[in-house]
């Protein structure tokens, strides 16, 4: 079925795996505390290290590439299965092999980079997972980094936006780079907070009939907004970006 869609980002989830996915979207998670994307070689590139997580405590960095989980090569077992192995019981250890880019200078003082292999053992623990981080930058810009759209994201988003407005933000910048998953309903709730009354997200069937599943009420934030995206922005995040752009 997914082969017919020609969607390289699409994945089939069995009932059991979908249950695990929903559990992973909760505020409190158990695992090592990283978010990854599949790189061009089929390995796992770390794009987020959750503050206070076991991964942060063991020194795993954004940009590290996980090439082995336990004694299994990521490319051999497949990206999806490798991601699933990051979670597990509290207190269980996990051996990882990473590729890390190291920056240095040559004899002439020119910058150069090289790859080194790093092996770490991470003990899985419970940690709080925030899907939103926010700060005020350049004086008036409220910057919000969204890592995933879930029901918890909606509450976190509203809280962070209110804080930014209280700090004097007059523009909003949403960063959804490498935001690769989430729930469409959560996207709709967040867009409803931002945009004026109207239809937001809908579908068109093969007969050309258009049906809107998500609408916005009259509440809105009437201020300049922009969105940062990259090749790792897909799924629910694409709906968020395109709807903001349309308005």
User: What is the DSSP code string of 23-57?
Assistant: HHTSSEEEE--EEEEE-TTS-EEEEEE-TTSHHHH
pLDDT of 57 higher than 80: yes
Mean pLDDT across 59-85: 93
Q: How far from chain centre, in Å, is Cα 92?
A: 25
pLDDT of residue 117: 95
pLDDT of 9 higher than 60: no
Lowest mean pLDDT among 59-63, 79-83, 84-88, 213-217: 213-217
Mean pLDDT across 46-67: 90
Q: What is the CA radius of gyration of the chain?
A: 20
Mean pLDDT across 139-153: 89
Task: Report residue 74's pLDDT band, with 50, 70 and 90 as the boundaries.
Answer: very high
């Amino acid at each position: 079925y997914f082969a017919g869609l020609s969607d390289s980002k699409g994945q089939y989830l069995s009932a059991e795996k979908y249950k695990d996915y929903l559990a992973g979207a909760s505020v409190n998670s158990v695992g090592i505390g990283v978010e990854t994307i599949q790189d061009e070689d089929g390995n796992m590139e770390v794009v987020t290290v959750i503050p206070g997580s076991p991964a942060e405590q063991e020194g795993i960095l954004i940009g590290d590439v996980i090439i082995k989980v336990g004694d299994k090569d990521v490319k051999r077992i497949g990206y999806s299965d490798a991601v699933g192995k990051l979670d597990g019981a509290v207190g269980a250890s996990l051996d990882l092999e990473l590729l890390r880019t190291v920056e240095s200078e040559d004899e002439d003082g020119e910058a150069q980079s090289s790859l080194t292999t790093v092996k770490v053992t991470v003990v899985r623990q419970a940690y709080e997972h925030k899907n939103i981080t926010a700060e005020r930058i350049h004086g008036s810009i409220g910057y919000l980094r969204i890592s995933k759209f879930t029901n918890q994201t909606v509450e976190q988003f509203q809280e962070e936006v209110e804080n930014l407005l209280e700090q004097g933000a007059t523009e909003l910048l949403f960063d959804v780079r490498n935001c690769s998953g989430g729930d469409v309903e959560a996207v709709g709730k967040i867009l409803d907070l931002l945009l004026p009354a109207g239809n937001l997200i809908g579908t068109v069937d093969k007969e050309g009939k258009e049906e809107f599943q998500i609408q916005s009420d009259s509440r809105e934030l009437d201020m300049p907004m922009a969105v940062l995206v990259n090749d790792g922005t897909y799924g629910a995040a694409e709906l968020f970006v395109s709807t903001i752009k349309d308005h």
